Amino acid sequence: MNKKAIVTGILAGIAFVAVNGAYAQSPPPTQGLSDEEINLLRKDIRSMKKQIIAANLNLTDTEAQKFWPIYDQYMGEMAKIVDKKLDLLKEYAANYDSITDDQADAYIKGRAAVEEAVLQLRLKYIPVFRKLLTGKTAARFAQIEWRLGLALDVQLNAEIPIIEP
């Protein structure tokens, strides 16, 4: 089985598992992950993403020497945005049982702002990666990175209950 099929299967599996629980209405767990556990999980996810990207870009040594430092810079900026998302989710979980209309509005606006920030960061880096890579390779990277981000978002959102009326 080739790498493309493996990655596709992994992503399909994540999406399938996540979608099957996407509308669960149970409240968030009262004993969530500690900050240390979240940081370890994030480190593991970043490592897996990097491995998947490396396996699917087929960079030359010269391209890799230029690409990976910029990728690390990009992911450092992305981590700050993800921190905001995690803060919103922690606040949402803390208020889930008694969330007010104003808190619900703030949560939705905050999530929208995070999604906008992710999009703006991606748009900022597309020309940067394009200077380092061919057009097709830069586009391939963007596609892989976006798909991985979507798969992670689907899985994360499967764990977040929808606000009760």
Enter the tokens of residue 52.
């998947």
Enter the tokens of residue 110.
């905050």
Domain tally, the chain: 1
Tell me how long the chain is.
165
Domain-embedded: residue 7: yes
pTM of the model: 0.76
The answer to whether 122 touches 146, Cβ cutoff 8 Å, is yes
The answer to whether 154 touches 14, Cβ cutoff 8 Å, is yes
- Is the C-alpha dihedral spanning 99, 105, 108, 109 positive or negative? negative
Give me the mean pLDDT over the 30-55 stretch. 78
Quick: pLDDT tens for 152-163. 888 888 888 888
Range of the domain at 109: 3-158
Domain-embedded: residue 19: yes
Quick: pLDDT tens for 93-114. 889 999 999 999 999 999 999 9
Domain-embedded: residue 163: no
Give, in order, the Cα–Cα distances in Å from 125 to each of 17, 32, 71, 100, 128. 31, 33, 9, 38, 5
Enter the tokens of residue 64.
């890799």
Of 114, 141, 117, nearest in space to 127 by CA = 141
pLDDT of 145 reads 93
